[in-house]
Amino acid sequence: MSTDQVRVVVTGLGATTPLGGDVASTWSALLAGRSGVRDLTTDWVDSVPVKFAAVAAVDPTEVLPRPEARRLDRAEQFALVAAREAWKDSGIEKVDPERLGVVVGSGIGGITTILAAYDTFKERGWQRLSPYTVPMLMPNGAAGWIGIEVGARAGVHATVSACATGAESIGYAIEMIRSGRADVVVAGGTEAAIHPLNIGSFAAMRAMSLRNDEPERASRPWDKNRDGFVLGEGSGIVVLESEEHARARGAHVYAVAAGVGYSADAHHIAQPEPTGAGVMLAMRRALQDARLAPEDIRHVNAHATSTPAGDVVETMAIKEVVGGHPLVTSTKSMTGHLLGGAGGIESVFTVLALQERVVPATINVDDLDDGVEVDIVRRDPRELPGGRISAINNSFGFGGHDVAVAFTSV
């Protein structure tokens, strides 16, 4: 089978985010311009300089049966909740297990499990460790659990590329279907890292916003007074399917997963490369892979995290590769930064923008920074044109990972 002949489509969406416990509530909150960022009320908040985060709107332990929840890390809980929603949404009733795959990753994995288990180990000894400690802490745990849930035997994978993880997973899934290894793949990212060690460590990098007096205003991509990202948690999952398989069962198709572009900065382990060369390469490759022209791209869900270094460079790269015409937004202004989950939820948002023909506004952009020469959607959502249009979801990660996923409307 020629790889050129297989088109991949999106047939299911799932998400649990700081804005809502499912796709519908999250999407309506995005369109309403609501912030998911709030004050932290945990007992450890005094030990860290950042007193807020974008905590999940619905705690997964309220949704999952207790015996199930206790053997899952919080990141796995989010992923399973989102995967169940996406799977149900896809309407798939029967699929050949050997043609069904999973690609779901996490930036950090079961970090809260590791730290809690180490406390248990030191205080009470190895005998008191949960026998599920290892499957809870491993970063491929979420993929494994989802694979068991849906019965996927074509391959279960977990890409790990920091904040590019979710997008890379979706890219890998597209390629898995195109290469003929699977007809259906459940793909996305998850993260649960709101823990003092993570906040302390990101703060040590001077990467986090310290706007403690105005948490809801802290995530402000492209605003002159942005001072860092806001940590979020949750998961976004999509069901990808070969067009042939989707049509044969009469599935609702949200969008075409048209292509993916990868690159790497080869510059610095954590700082963005200042010319945007890697970002441009990833977007060019996404266009090429999707066989799209720059003018086809009418919307970009940007990576833009609200850090001083990265936001403007990304817009320069968008202008250079795609042009000044797409409607650009950063939904992180409302969801915070879900790290490995970001590419998952933002792909869900990109697909919904194409289907609903509307782009959520970036909130908190009071004073647009110098050098931003693309069309940032601010204040109110804006409509996308009819007809066949395409969009890109950008995700970049520490390590120098650049991933651009292209979607096309149906």
Q: Exactly one of 195, 245, 299, 303 is catalytic; name it.
A: 303
Residue of 61, 130, 212, 271 that binds another protein (CB under 8 A):
130
Asked if 119 is part of the footprint of another protein (rule: CB under 8 A), the reply reads no
Q: Any contact of residue 128 with another protein (CB under 8 A)?
A: yes
In a 13 Å sphere around the CA of 347, the CA atoms on its Cβ side amount to 44
Number of H helices, E strands in the chain: 14, 15
Going 268 to 328 to 394 to 304, the CA torsion angle's sign is positive
Q: What share of the chain is helix, strand, coil (3-state, %, to 5)?
A: 40, 25, 40
CB of 129 to another protein, least distance (A): 9
- Give the orientation angle of helix 141-150 with respect to helix 74-90, to 10 degrees: 30
Contact with another protein (CB under 8 A) among 42, 58, 98, 132: 132
Dist. CA 54–CA 228, nearest whole Å: 14
**Rounded CA separation 364/111 (Å):** 31
Q: Which stretch binds another protein (CB under 8 A): 53-61, 124-132, 316-324, 362-370?
A: 124-132
Written as six digits, the tokens of 104 are 């779901």
CA pair distance 168, 393, nearest whole angstrom: 11
Q: How far apart are CB 85 and another protein at their closest, in Å?
A: 21
Q: What is the CA radius of gyration of the chain?
A: 20
Q: Identify the residue among 93, 123, 131, 380 touching another protein (CB under 8 A).
A: 131
Cβ at position 133, least distance to another protein in Å: 10
Q: Which residues 89-118 are close enough to bind another protein by CB under 8 A?
A: none
Tally of CA atoms within 13 A in the half-sphere of 331 that contains its CB: 35
Q: Out of 157, 195, 337, 401, which one is annotated catalytic?
A: 337
Residue 230: phi and psi, rounded to 5, are -115, 125
**What 8-state DSSP symbol labels residue 238?**
E
Q: How far is the CB of 101 from another protein (least distance, A)?
A: 25
Q: Which two tokens stand for residue 41?
A: 């009320």
Does position 149 interact with another protein (CB under 8 A)? The reply is: no
d(Cα 392, Cα 346) in Å, to the nearest integer? 10
Which residues face 9 on adjacent strands? 241, 256
Q: Which stretch binds another protein (CB under 8 A): 7-15, 125-133, 315-323, 369-377?
A: 125-133
CB neighbours (10 Å) of residue 115? 15
Which part of the chain contacts another protein (CB under 8 A), choosing from 8-16, 130-138, 240-248, 290-298? Answer: 130-138
Burial group, residue 201, by CB count within 10 angstroms (0-12, 13-18, 19+): middle
Instruction: Give the span between the Cα atoms of 306 and 75, in whole angstroms.
Output: 23
Quote the tokens at residue 3. 């790889």
Q: In this complex, which beta carbon is closest to another protein, that of residue 134 or of residue 270?
A: 134
Minimal distance, residue 160 CB to another protein, in Å: 25
Which C-beta is closer to another protein: that of 128 or that of 268? 128
- 127 belongs to the binding site for another protein (CB under 8 A): yes
Size of the site for another protein (CB under 8 A): 10
Nearer to another protein among residue 40 and residue 136 (C-beta): 136
Cα separation, 398 vs 307, in Å, equals 13
Which residues inside 216-275 make contact with another protein, applying CB under 8 A?
Answer: none
Given the complex with another protein, which of 120 and 201 has the nearer CB atom?
Answer: 120
Which of 157, 163, 195, 401 is catalytic? The answer is: 163
Instruction: Count the Cβ atoms, other than its own, within 10 Å of residue 32.
Output: 12
Active site residue 195: no
Smallest separation, CB 68 to another protein (Å)? 7
Residue span 279-308 as binding mask against another protein, x where in contact by CB under 8 A, dash where not: ------------------------------
- Establish whether 303 is a catalytic residue: yes
What contacts 99, CB < 8 A, 6 or more positions away? Answer: 154, 182, 183, 184
Least distance to another protein, CB of residue 67, Å:
3
Closer CB to another protein, residue 120 or residue 212?
Answer: 120
Name which of 45 and 69 has its Cβ closer to another protein.
Answer: 69
Note if 337 is an active site residue.
yes
Residues 22-81 interacting with another protein (rule: CB under 8 A) = 65-68, 70
Residue 131 or 386 with smaller CB distance to another protein:
131
Q: How far is the CB of 131 from another protein (least distance, A)?
A: 4
Which residues contact another protein by CB under 8 A?
Answer: 65-68, 70, 127-128, 130-132
- What are the catalytic residues? 163, 303, 337
